[in-house]
Structure 1
């Protein structure tokens, strides 16, 4: 009897949550890609657990998609269940601890922390994507990496259990965290150890300044995935690409940004993901030929490639 009740509850929740054949291009910051076989927006821990169980019980591949700001989605779509984290966005404060769920946009979370009288995250202002995505890839800017400020991360494993990782900063490095490359867990919530402040207007000005600097560099001019390649040790990927005179180079609807060589843009909204990937491979080949340096992607690929 308890099993029947449980199955009934989960069926009701699943009927409400699951969406079939959901187009994903509008969920991507570069606005291209195919459809998800199944997709869902969980709003809390219980819904997330139910969705994980559903994928496991039905042998569905499971994918996690946050802001899709550094994820290139295949034109052929994504098989299985795609969990969209955008509705996992609640936050609360415990003293000096700013706690926020993984689907909250990072820039919004920074503004909320400032509203709550806490400083420390503002130098990351303007970085696109979600809190979970930023933690996954240890996003950084202006001499600050998100791992520098983390105290804990709550994550769910595929058996539906919630765990807490106390953060050790030596586990974080350039564009790498303990979660990078892990497909057996889902980041659920993070706690940041910040500093109380009464000078919130000054903190907000610092955030606005770094965000305006990103805008001035053309980072928001067209749909893009942000920086495509990691910086090789001692080098800047953008400088290497620029030195190869690749700004403006176009394949299909995808172009190297005229203002930042490490960004590929969908200028007219006509690029396919295959165009973007072909341009990535072309850039890599040219830089390899010119400088004998193999550029590695900072972005991730999702779906049927």
Structure 2
């Protein structure tokens, strides 16, 4: 069987304990929803990622590469193929005013390293729950600044295992978008160029932003952060609130009463609940304001 051959090849390059089968994806997404992935891979080295992708591609096995699952909904039927999770590839290295971080490193940990080395510019990222790879791919941002403001370059691979080093311009970073998403590249590493600053001022700024986040966002419930991209000329949360949808729920999924831009899992929601609520919000907002909200979250898998 093809699958047996694929498993045999994968286990030659990655320790068996780092490959799981029928792994519940609700254990790997911040929304806490999702059915099982046929194959779930936790590589520890960059070369293992490249090799695994080659094996999967050569055998026509669908695959998806993820970070910490903070911007991801996996449908209840799970993922028919392989999911590669990069969080074990997480080295962070400070070189003068620059920080090199592997794709699976948490942004919060990179921000802490910046603080320790009196480097400013990354304070906005200290409360973003995702990893470097996902943040670069979607040009993550908070309270104004975005990844494009601090990134110098990124090492990428394509589905054929070719390596590239793209500078900031080549990454084509724009609002929640990049060439990485459009051309299906995978981030392996990023270098951030920061500035020397005052450690107390940096710490105070990080604490201030995290305090604002805690005051305004429903951090006590599973979610994937802001559910929708900001539509041009509007704010998604305000449109949803003005549409009368604050607190509206389907099954165990609810539009947060604290911040209408967040859909939360407040009572054992299924992925179906979340996706139906997203659709309902889109329909009502479009009907009332003629604005089509575009999800910021990634949706994969089968019903």
Q: 1:57 to 1:10 in 2, by over 3 A?
A: farther
Partner of 1:276: 274
Shift in CA distance, 8/142, structure 1 to aligned 2, threshold 3 Å: closer
User: Superposition pairs for residues 141-220 of structure 1, below 5 Å?
Assistant: 141-168=142-169, 171-183=172-184, 185-197=185-197, 199-220=198-219
Deviation at 1:79, TM superposition (A): 1.3
Aligned-pair CA distance for 1:12 = 5.4
| One of 281, 289, 292 as aligned partner of 2:290 | 292
In the alignment, structure 1 segments of 5+ residues that lack a partner are 1-6
Q: Tell whether the 8 Å contact from 1:14 to 1:51 is kept in structure 2 after alignment.
A: no
Aligned partners of 2:94 and 2:113 also within 8 Å: no
SS at the partner of 1:224?
coil
* Partner residue, 1:134: 135
SS for the counterpart of 2:37 is strand
User: Cα distance 1:120–1:114, how it changes in 2: closer, same or farther (>3 A)?
Assistant: same
Q: Structure 1's 170 and 72: CA in aligned 2 closer, same or farther, altered over 3 A? A: closer
What is the rounded CA distance, in whole Å, between the counterparts of 2:46 and 2:125 in structure 1? 27
Taking the aligned partners of 1:264 and 1:88, their CA distance within structure 2 comes to: 30
Residues 1:169 and 1:212: Cα distance change in structure 2 (over 3 Å): farther
Query: Matches of 1:26 and 1:96 in 2, distance apart?
Result: 36
3-state SS, counterpart of residue 39 of structure 2: strand
Distance 1:181 1:250 in 2: 33
Question: Could you give the per-residue CA deviations for residues 204-252 of structure 1, whole angstroms, max 9, x where no partner exists?
Answer: 1211110110011133121011111111111111001000111111101
CA distance in 2, matches of 1:169, 1:77: 34
SS in 1 for 2:225: strand
8 Å Cα contact 2:171-2:180 kept in structure 1: no
Q: Residue 29 of structure 1: SS of its match in structure 2? A: coil
State the distance in 2 between where 1:273 and 1:56 align: 27
Q: Which residue of 1 aligns with 2:265?
A: 266
2:10/2:52 contact within 8 Å kept: no
Structure 1 residues 17-28: aligned runs within 5 Å? 17-28=18-29
SS state at 2:293 partner: coil
CA distance in 2, matches of 1:29, 1:244: 26
**What residue number does 1:4 align with?**
none
How far is 1:196 from its partner? 2.3
TM-score, scaled relative to structure 2: 0.92
CA RMSD, aligned part only?
1.8
Q: Which moved more, 1:244-253 or 1:165-174?
A: 165-174
Q: Tell me how far 1:187 sits from its aligned partner.
A: 0.4
Q: In the alignment, which residue of structure 2 is the partner of 1:66?
A: 67
Within 2, Cα distance between the matches of 1:36 and 1:10?
A: 17
Report the Cα offset of residue 43 of structure 1. Answer: 1.2
**In the TM superposition, what is the alpha-carbon distance from 1:181 to its structure 2 partner?**
3.4
Q: Confirm or deny: 8 A CA contact 2:53 2:159 kept in the other structure.
A: yes
Give 1:263 deviation, angstroms: 0.5
For structure 2, the residue ranges without an aligned partner over 5 or more in a row are 1-7
Deviations 1:95-117 (A, max 9, x none): 22110011111112111221133
